[in-house]
Structure formats: structure tokens, C-alpha cells
Structure 1
Amino acid sequence: MSSVKPAIDKLLKSYNKETPQNLKLIDAYLAFILVSGILQFVYVILVGTYPYNAFLAGFISTVGQFVLAAGLRIQTNPNNSGQFKTISPERY
């Protein structure tokens, strides 16, 4: 446990120092979508699956939004600019 704290501290310092603001915004959106999906899943486990179609629609839409936003984050990361040469500069 003692070796985990310095590693987390170094990760957070590096993330705050080196990650551009637009990627931090996308990361915050990804965290929100992740928490939203987890809460929907926990709600269905605790309350039940009566409106099962409503649960499926909400949960699948959160998964889809997460996948699309993760793809956007990968494409707009400056470190990956060599792999995505056809992306317009406005997205950076």
C-alpha cells in the first residue's frame, strides 16, 4: 500500500501538468457518463427490472456515448496526431 500512494501522486501531477484542457474536459464527461451508467445498473439491481426496456435504452445510450467520447478523446490527443492525419485542426 505504501508504494501505491507515490505512484498515484505522480500520476495526478503528470496529468495536471501535461494534459491539455480540452482532454480534461472530455475526461470529465467520460467520468460523468461512467458514473451515470453505474448508477443505472445499481438502480436496476436494487429496485428491479419492471420497465426493462427503459433500463436497456438508458444503459445502452450511456455505453454508446462513452464509446463515442472515448474515440473523440483518442483522436484529439496531440500525442496521436501522427495516426489521425486527416482530422481538421479545429478539433485540436
Structure 2
Amino acid sequence: MLAEIVKAFSDEYKKTPVRVKVLDAFLVYALATAAVQFAYMLLVGTFPFNAFLAGFLSCVGFFALTVCLRMQVDPANKEFSGISPERAFADYCLANLVLHLVVWNYMG
């Protein structure tokens, strides 16, 4: 049963455009980075807590913004058909700039 679900998912995912697959790779990267930071915090401790919190929230914010970009760029999603991919990417870059300026300021 599980093998059938995985096979159906992989068959459908092969139809996904390359642009969306690249965004999926960024999403996996953001989650992996957050997981490594969290594991490091559990093993070593939280001495510079602001630094840990800034790095972890940076990964989570990057993940959320990339999910929004993926939703806007995916041609299968008809809700965002009025937004061009270039406009979505420009909004994504501006939001990431604001996010990372806040994170940088928070680190102190």
C-alpha cells in the first residue's frame, strides 16, 4: 500500500516543472539547516541564545517565504495566474532582504 502511494507520488512529481523542483530543493535545504541548528543547540547548549534564535528563525522564515514563492510560480496553481514569475521572484527577494535584515539586527 505504501509502495503504491510512493510510486503514484513519484509519477506525478516527474511532471513537475524544473523551476518548481529547484524550489523544492531550497525547501529541503532550509529544513535541513534548521534541523542541524536545533540538534546543535540540544547537544551544545544555548549560550548565545539570540544567535541560535536568529539562525533558526532565519531558516524557518526562509522556508515560509520559499513556500509562498513556490505557490506563486507553480503553473498548476490557478489562484496566482495574474502574477508573473518575475514579479513573484522580485517580491521574494524583497521579503528575504527584510527578513535577513531583521535577523541580522536581532543577533546583536
Unaligned runs of 5+ in 1: none
Identical residues among aligned pairs (%): 44
Residues 36-75 of structure 1: pairs in structure 2 closer than 5 A: 36-75=33-72
Q: Which runs of 5+ in 2 are unaligned?
A: 89-108
* TM-score w.r.t. length of structure 1: 0.86
**1:30 counterpart residue number:** 27
Residue 20 (structure 1) shift: 0.3
| Matched pairs, number | 88
Q: How far apart are residue 8 of structure 1 and its match?
A: 0.6
Q: Distance in 2 between matches of 1:88 and 1:19?
A: 18
Instruction: Output the CA distance in 1 between the equivalents of 2:70 and 2:84.
Output: 14
